[in-house]
Structure 1
Amino acid sequence: MLVAERQKKIVEIVNERLSIRVTELSKIFSVTEETIRRDLEKLEKENLLMRSHGGAVSIEEDKGETSYLEREVTNAAEKKAIAAVAVCSIEPGDQIVLDASTTAWYVAKELPDMPLTVLTNSIKVAIELSKKEQIKVISTGGTLLPQSLSYVGPLAERSLSMYHVNKAFLSCKGVHLEKGLSDLNESQALLKKQMMEISDEIILMVDSSKFGTRAFSQIFPITKADCIITDSNLDVEIIKQLEEKQINVVLANKI
């Protein structure tokens, strides 16, 4: 197979599957992993795909990315209540990370102007915090996902690896007691995983509709979360199981 033909096929496979590993592409085309990495580097430069840790992800209109406007109005009351509770656990002098979820944006809106360092991959969060003089904002940079107004990709991941924070405030698409936390978009999942790795304390902010569901890309086992802030609609049995896993569960009342 000619190089150009192989690279064309790689793009087709990535767009069909949304993401794929270098090792799998190496087996499919019977070439070395180094050859595949060179292919991916060339294809990324041509803006045909985006490289991720150990593979590549599609940059076609992302089936996993819901628009920010749509997410803003979905379970908005629950998200605002959860954010208000999350803000109460943030103290002056903290160094925190906020992801690109709408709940994190509500946290940014609710935060008082106090000495604080915030690391984020969200444009919306950064803009909101720019109005507060005492808060130092650090953006990860990276590849922009227009639907979620967030940065992802290798540059964003390398940026996160340079820092350490004492608290991470994250959300995700799926929360499963056995299979763990997951997200629709692989590049977002990789970034959330990195956020969890650089933080001393992990606070998961998810409304009750996320429980019992699984999304495309795994992030971490649920036991990695130190605290889960959710709404009062969460089933009592699920709360009991979470507490048995030594996870602190905080219920937020709608504002």
Structure 2
Amino acid sequence: MLVAERHRKIVEVVNERLSIRVTELSKLFNVTEETIRRDLEKLEKEKLLRRSHGGAVSIQEEQSEVSYAEREITNAIEKRAIAIEAVKLIQPNQQIVLDASTTTWYMAKEMPDIPLTVITNSIKVAIELSKKEQVKVISTGGMLLPKSLSYVGPLAERSLNMYHVNKAFISCKGVHIEGGLSDSNEWQALLKRQMMSIADETIVMADSTKFGVRTFAHITDLQQISTIITDSNIDHAYIQACDERGIQLISD
């Protein structure tokens, strides 16, 4: 990989994840940590990111959301594989809640046409599920976020209070041993927390690039999660952390 291409990809990763450590970038790009430090120094001078202790953070506004079209093609292979594993956890006649992540949209595409009740704050997920005759879809309503095509806010949160579901399927921007789950958007984080509160169990869907990351808005601690579905590139430290906390870890 050419240096210029590596620099471009580093900025993309930092902006997507909002913060990342030098050690992770070193593994991602298969170069030494010293090389990454020099890269970050140059990119900071170009005002493309900001260096932090042990890593780098995005200089983009943390509350801004990446457009759905962008998220749809980011790590698409991993997201679809994770979605396929998630669908296997759904039984006929269950009630479930799906957040507005692109992974849940892949779930909706893969979901069989079986008797289900699905609550979601995602317009894309609702449209996809409308093609399945046996699936009853309930939309939260609320304040529309155009970039993510999702509903958030007090109305969306209050609407969830009316229901109880068997399982909540959520994604996030960061999975951290001490920091738990986090999201770059506070509205999304609050709604995901509410989704978890009405569910018997929570299944988190996150590819391995999300691990070790802490972003703006805290969702919950790891102890509140029953299952994590990820890909095979997950760091061993997280396999051990999940085992210690009694969290089922599924990797494709």
CA offset at residue 193 of structure 1?
Answer: 0.2
Alpha-carbon displacement from aligned partner over 1:115-146 (angstroms, at most 9, x marks no partner): 00000000000000000000000000000000
CA offset at residue 237 of structure 1?
Answer: 2.5
CA offset at residue 62 of structure 1?
Answer: 7.7
Partner of 1:22: none
Q: Quick one: distance in 2 between partners of 1:237 and 1:150?
A: 33
Matched residue type, 1:143: M
Partner of 1:136: 136
CA offset at residue 202 of structure 1?
Answer: 0.5
1:65-214 correspondence runs (5 A): 65-214=65-214
Partner of 2:215: 215
Q: Quick one: distance in 2 between partners of 1:100 and 1:240?
A: 29
CA offset at residue 64 of structure 1?
Answer: 2.7
Alpha-carbon displacement from aligned partner over 1:201-255 (angstroms, at most 9, x marks no partner): 1000000000000110011101111000000000123211211111110001xxx
Tell me if 1:229 matches 2:229: yes
Secondary structure of the corresponding residue to residue 167 of structure 2: strand
Matched residue type, 1:108: A
Unpaired runs of at least 5, structure 2: 1-60
Q: Quick one: distance in 1 between partners of 2:233 and 2:62?
A: 30
Alpha-carbon displacement from aligned partner over 1:181-205 (angstroms, at most 9, x marks no partner): 1101101000000000000010000
CA RMSD of aligned residues (A): 1.1
CA contact (8 A) 2:63 2:186 kept: no
Q: Quick one: distance in 1 between partners of 2:162 and 2:215?
A: 28
Partner of 1:250: 250
Secondary structure of the corresponding residue to residue 172 of structure 1: coil
Q: Quick one: distance in 1 between partners of 2:137 and 2:145?
A: 20
Q: Quick one: distance in 2 between partners of 1:132 and 1:244?
A: 39
- The structure with the larger Rg is 1
Partner of 2:10: none
Number of aligned pairs?
192
Secondary structure of the corresponding residue to residue 155 of structure 1: helix
Q: Quick one: distance in 2 between partners of 1:175 and 1:198?
A: 21
Q: Quick one: distance in 1 between partners of 2:179 and 2:159?
A: 28
1:26-45 correspondence runs (5 A): none
Partner of 1:57: none
Matched residue type, 2:164: H
Q: Specify whether residues 195 and 231 from structure 1 end up closer, same or farther in structure 2 by C-alpha distance, changes over 3 A only.
A: same
Q: Quick one: distance in 1 between partners of 2:237 and 2:181?
A: 18
Unpaired runs of at least 5, structure 1: 1-60
Q: Which runs of 4+ in 1 moved over 4 A?
A: none
CA offset at residue 63 of structure 1?
Answer: 4.2
Matched residue type, 1:204: V
Secondary structure of the corresponding residue to residue 92 of structure 1: coil
Q: Quick one: distance in 1 between partners of 2:238 and 2:191?
A: 27
